[in-house]
Amino acid sequence: MTTAPLLEVRRLTKRFGGVTAVDDCSFTVRRGTVTALIGPNGSGKTTVFNLITGYLAADAGQIVFDGRAVTRPDPARLYRRGLSRTFQQPRAFDGLTVLENLVIAAGHGWRALAGRRLGARDAARGEALLEEFALARHRDTPAGELSYGQRKLLEFAALLMSDPALVLLDEPTAGVNPTMIATIERHVRERHASGTAFLLVEHDMNLVMRLCDPVIVLDGGTVIAEGPPSVVQSEPRVLDAYLGG
Ligand code: ADP
């Protein structure tokens, strides 16, 4: 079954000096999918993420999100429209508590924290997410005191405050232990089951193969294969790209 496109990347190109990091790259993320974006180091995955989310400006090409062209890609604007992301190094406001980080992420700005009187509705949603992500006992802990894995969970939980239609996860399991990998996978599955679409850059191929469909493979900044994991992993072009052929 194919579902409607949620994100369309059309002929994107991005150059850094003489390096073409993303080269006439096109793909679609459909509603209801957990889509993987994989490829060898330097194949352009991070640059594609940064273009989609407005952290970099493209030299050419178009991005359509939720049926509307993204004419001025801007991270905050896209976040409000339902497209949010994580980073390879999880980001949080270290001096704020875990709950305060969630409240801020609801997008109602710093005013919500004025005098530490949290907006009641955002606070209630934050508390629910803390339970869901097993972070409740860290509710009042400054984010800067969390472990690396907990910071990844906090970043994930925080972006859910915006009710995103599409979540881009940049190497969600890099540097975390197997228990935390399983936890992150479970959260992706649960949110996917309730309608959120995901696009993942991920190096753990076992995780990609069991969690993602379709899998999109980049090499040299362009898509070289796309399809169900079982098909993609046996494509000669994909094997060549990974083996440096
Ligand atoms: P990946 O995430 O797949 O490892 P990247 O998107 O980081 O790939 O990089 C793609 C190519 O673009 C690489 O050749 C990289 O060296 C180059 N590149 C990425 N960012 C920059 C930058 N800010 N300045 C110059 N070159 C860059």
Instruction: Read off the pTM.
Output: 0.92
Alpha-carbon distance 154 to 230, whole Å?
A: 32
End-to-end CA distance of the chain: 34
Joined together, the tokens standing for residue 115 give 């005098």
Contacts of 226 (CB under 8 A, 6+ apart): 27, 214, 215, 216, 217, 232
Residue nearest to atom 13 of ligand 1 (CA): 42
Which CATH code for domain 5-88+167-172+196-243? 3.40.50.300
> Is 143 in contact with 93 (CB distance < 8 Å)?
yes
How, if at all, do strands 83-85 and 166-170 pair? parallel
The tens-digit pLDDT sequence of the chain (245 residues) is 568 999 999 999 999 999 999 999 999 999 999 999 999 999 999 999 999 999 999 999 999 999 999 988 888 888 889 999 999 888 999 999 999 999 888 865 555 455 455 577 788 889 999 999 999 999 999 999 999 999 999 999 999 998 999 999 999 999 999 999 999 999 999 999 999 999 999 999 999 999 999 999 999 999 999 999 999 988 999 988 887 65
Residue nearest to atom 18 of ligand 1 (CA): 21
- With a 6 Å cutoff on the Cβ, whether 107 touches ligand 1 is no
Contacts of 194 (CB under 8 A, 6+ apart): none
- Write down the domain spans for the chain: 5-88+167-172+196-243
Query: Does ipTM come in above 0.95?
Result: yes
Task: Please report the pLDDT score of residue 196 as a whole number.
Answer: 96
- With a 6 Å cutoff on the Cβ, whether 41 touches ligand 1 is yes
Relative to the CA of 20, which ligand 1 atom is closest?
12
